């Protein structure tokens, strides 16, 4: 996966195939898909025919002039093909890197759907939906499925790029496994729920193939506008020939306009710049989403992300750190807070998780406790496992006994102390319940069979998240926090984070109702989810981002999958979608403004012999009519080349409102689009004149 991100903008590995593909796209059946560039394509053919006639002595204009126009029109078509091929090439490179992850896998197919029964080997490609397989430590999961028995640690780095393993177990929201991932410990019994070719990896490959991308509604609307403009200018250009013949006949002097000049005029009048780059912008938008480790099912989903005005954000992991931090020690009756802190710190010495480190930090801050020196002590660290759900340390005492310090979930510690003959105190149970009601996580600490108390792990609002929400607010996007916490806890975190609204004690029905209410107001809603209970709301949302670690139901309900399973990615997705729309709007503004400037080069040049008064419009003081027309055509072609990197990379994203964005576009791309052709065409004219090419 990460290989897909390593390609630079103009990587030779992408440029060379794109050049070849640019010529392959000269097929009329391919060109017809882009009506604007199809007109340029037909114009290229016509000018080539006119040049061949000129070679035979029947030319309407000098051979060199017609040949130059024909060549630059072909270059215009090829540059447009190259832009689209470059965008598609990046997507295909990403798909190729995904294909490289597919390996031949031998599955252990169980003869009975339970652990311990006999199994027989079978290639993964021969498996069918419903088959039950055994996957043990070191084995690769053959296809997507659902865990029906067992619990194990799974390495999903091949899919997500994240090195940290995840726990997969039967039942609940963590039963979904992905083909191509590897089991690190223990075993799983998995029921396959897809056929070969239908796995998540296969779907990812098809999703990132830019060539299969469907046009979005916004892109279709813009295409219709461009086609309408092209038809209008085509009609205008066609009527200029009889008008010119009539004018010359009536005046008795001058030369009628040539067909070559009319074709050049048409190509320069129609919005060729945005027409050439429109498809590349859309494909590149999906490619940028893929570079962010997000698989979008279609360009429609990416574009919808740019139009979103309501974000539903899960609290844990999105607004808060997710890895909760120790905030208080609640000792049991007869235990001092310092004794609890000391035992909790000792039990956390080998715990490198953020929660474990935070316990050590809190003990140091409150009681100046330092990490114990272990030199000379016989200690055995007990790591956290999916089965025990607790961790700690065993310390050999001078009298030969072993001190067992443990911390973990309340039920896990209860089972542990009861197995040693102890009991779970009522006051500790009450403290555990109180901490849980506040929306925090209770972590119980035990010394052998004695329960010492509870460590409260609290959600910490992420640094900078409030500022990001303020940026979204300036863009007109409303943020809504969704949490299962009670209303008081939710209100406190919502106020600290700076969200606009919140939904506490959220149920699937409440989420679904909220989304429908916003949509009834004409608003577009985005949300993230990972559980089966999120599936109805994800299916209803306009932009639905499912976590890769989530259930199959959530992935199928969403129109995007975040391979990193990072809920905050929703903010980046919205920004990427808006960047796509901003890029398309900016280049459309630039293209139309370009056309206005090119009028001043071509119109006077075409009719100055018939109407000398039009020379007043030759504000660029171009050398000759032929030089003016050829300079405009050359500029029209090379400006596409200069804009390809912008189309692929996208314009710089800025969190501004629609009105401010419109002013910025008009000022930079509108005014720039008017001025750049004057400079470019004049420079080309000077070069052509200096080289005596016209």
Show which residues are catalytic.
314
Closest alpha carbon to 246 in 616, 655, 610, 638: 610
What's the distance, CA 585 to chain centroid? 19
Distances (CA, A) of 126 to 117, 142, 203, 355, 491: 21, 10, 18, 44, 53
Distance between CA atoms of residues 341 and 348, nearest Å = 10
For 77, half-sphere exposure in the C-beta direction (CA atoms, 13 angstrom radius) is: 25
Residues belonging to the chain: 694
d(CA 59, CA 50): 7
How many CB atoms are closer than 10 A to CB 454?
32
Burial of 264 (0-12, 13-18, 19+ CB in 10 A): buried
Angle 421-425-428 (CA atoms, 0-180°, nearest 5)?
135
- DSSP letters, 493-556, are HHHHHT-SEEE-S--HHHHHHHHHHHHHTT--EEEEE-SGGGHHHHHHSSEEEEETTS-HHHHH
DSSP SS3 for 395: strand
Beta strands in 344-500 (DSSP E): 379-382, 390-396, 402-408, 441-447, 450-458, 478-482
Output the furthest CA–CA distance in the chain (Å, rounded): 124
Cα of 196 vs its chain's centroid, Å: 26
Quote the CA–CA distance of 100 and 108 in Å, as a whole number. Answer: 23
**Pairing label, strands 441-447, 450-458:** antiparallel
> Which residue, among 583, 580, 534, has the nearest Cα to 554 in the 3D structure?
534
Q: Which residues are annotated as a binding site?
A: 351, 355, 384-391, 407, 530, 534
Q: How far is CA 12 from CA 19, 209, 210, 645, in A?
A: 10, 20, 19, 14
What percentage of the chain's residues is helix, strand, coil (to nearest 5)? 55, 15, 30
Rounded Cα distance, 168 and 177, in Å: 7
C-alpha span between 302 and 291 (Å, rounded): 13
Is residue 404 a contact partner of residue 309, using CB atoms and an 8 Å limit?
no
- 180 with 141: CB under 8 angstroms? yes
Question: How do strand 325-331 and strand 560-562 relate by DSSP bridges?
Answer: unpaired
Helix (H/G/I), strand (E/B), else coil: 38: helix
User: What is the spatial distance between Cα 560 and Cα 545, in angstroms, rounded to a whole number?
Assistant: 5
If you write DSSP's letter for every residue of 575-612 in order, what string do you get? HHHHHHHHHHHHHHHHHHHHHHHHHHHHHHHHHTTT-G
Tell me the binding residues for Mg(2+). Answer: 530, 534
- Residue 296 is classified by DSSP as E
Number of other CB atoms surrounding residue 223 within 10 Å: 19
Annotated binding residues for ATP, as ranges?
351, 355, 384-391, 407
Residues 121, 613: Cα–Cα separation, whole Å: 88
């Amino acid at each position: 996966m990460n290989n897909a991100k390593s390609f630079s903008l103009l990587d030779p590995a992408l440029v060379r195939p794109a050049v070849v593909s640019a010529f392959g796209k000269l097929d009329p059946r391919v060109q017809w898909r882009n009506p604007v560039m199809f007109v340029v394509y037909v114009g290229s053919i016509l000018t080539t025919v006119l040049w061949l006639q000129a070679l035979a002595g029947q030319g309407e204009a000098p051979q060199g002039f017609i040949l130059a126009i024909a060549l630059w029109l072909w270059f215009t078509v090829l540059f447009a093909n190259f832009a689209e091929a470059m965008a598609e090439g990046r997507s295909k490179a990403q798909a190729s890197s995904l294909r490289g992850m597919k390996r031949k896998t031998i599955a252990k197919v169980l003869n009975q759907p339970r652990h311990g029964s006999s199994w027989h080997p079978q290639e993964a490609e021969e498996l069918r939906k419903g088959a039950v397989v055994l996957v043990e430590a070191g084995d690769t999961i053959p296809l997507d499925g659902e865990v029906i028995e067992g619990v194990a640690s799974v390495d999903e780095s091949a899919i997500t790029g994240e090195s940290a393993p995840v726990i997969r177990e039967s039942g609940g929201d963590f039963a979904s496994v992905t083909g191509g991932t590897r089991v690190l410990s223990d075993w799983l019994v998995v029921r396959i729920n897809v056929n070969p070719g239908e796995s998540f990896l296969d779907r990812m490959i098809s999703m990132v193939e830019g060539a299969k991308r469907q046009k979005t509604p916004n892109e279709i609307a813009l295409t219709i506008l461009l086609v309408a403009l092209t038809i209008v200018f085509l009609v205008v250009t066609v009527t200029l020939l009889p008008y010119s013949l009539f004018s010359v006949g009536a005046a008795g002097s001058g030369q009628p306009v040539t067909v070559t000049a009319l074709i050049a005029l048409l190509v320069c009048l129609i919005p060729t710049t945005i027409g050439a780059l429109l498809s590349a912008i859309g494909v590149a938008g999906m490619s940028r989403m893929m570079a962010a480790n997000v698989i979008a099912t279609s360009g429609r989903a990416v574009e919808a992300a740019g139009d979103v005005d309501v974000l539903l954000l899960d609290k844990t992991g999105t607004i808060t750190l997710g890895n909760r931090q120790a905030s208080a020690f609640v000792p049991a009756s007869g235990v001092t807070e310092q004794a609890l802190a000391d035992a909790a710190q000792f039990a956390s010495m080998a715990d490198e998780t953020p929660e474990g480190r935070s316990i050590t930090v809190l003990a140091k801050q409150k009681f100046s406790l330092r990490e114990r020196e272990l030199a000379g002590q016989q200690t055995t660290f007990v790591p956290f496992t999916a089965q025990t759900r607790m961790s700690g340390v065993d310390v050999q005492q001078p009298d030969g006994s072993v001190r067992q310090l443990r911390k973990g979930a309340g039920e896990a510690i209860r089972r542990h102390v009861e197995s040693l003959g102890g009991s779970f105190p009522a006051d500790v149970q009450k403290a555990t319940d109180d901490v849980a009601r506040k929306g925090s996580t209770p972590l119980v600490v035990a010394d052998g069979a004695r329960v010492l108390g509870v460590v409260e792990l609290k959600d910490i609002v992420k640094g900078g998240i409030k500022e990001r929400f303020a940026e979204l607010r300036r863009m007109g996007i409303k943020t809504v926090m969704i949490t299962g916490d009670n209303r008081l806890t939710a209100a406190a975190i919502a106020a600290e984070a700076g969200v606009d609204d919140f939904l506490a004690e959220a149920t699937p029905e409440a989420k679904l109702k909220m989304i429908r209410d916003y949509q009834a107001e004409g608003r577009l809603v985005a949300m993230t989810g990972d559980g089966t209970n999120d599936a109805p709301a994800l299916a209803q949302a306009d932009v639905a981002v499912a976590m890769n670690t989530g259930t199959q139901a959530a992935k199928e309900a969403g129109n995007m999958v975040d391979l990193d399973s990072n809920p905050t990615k929703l903010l980046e997705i919205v920004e990427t979608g808006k960047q796509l729309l901003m890029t398309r709007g900016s280049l459309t503004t630039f293209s139309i403004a370009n056309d206005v400037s090119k009028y001043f080069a071509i119109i006077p040049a075409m009719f100055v012999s018939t109407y000398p008064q039009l020379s007043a419009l030759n504000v660029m003081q171009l050398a000759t009519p032929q030089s003016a027309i050829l300079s405009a055509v050359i500029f029209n072609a090379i400006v596409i080349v200069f804009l390809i990197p912008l189309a692929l990379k996208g314009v710089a994203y800025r969190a501004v409102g629609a009105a401010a964005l419109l002013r910025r576009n008009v000022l930079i791309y509108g005014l720039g689009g008017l001025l750049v052709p004057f400079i470019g065409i004049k420079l080309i004219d000077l070069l052509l004149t200096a080289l005596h090419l016209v």
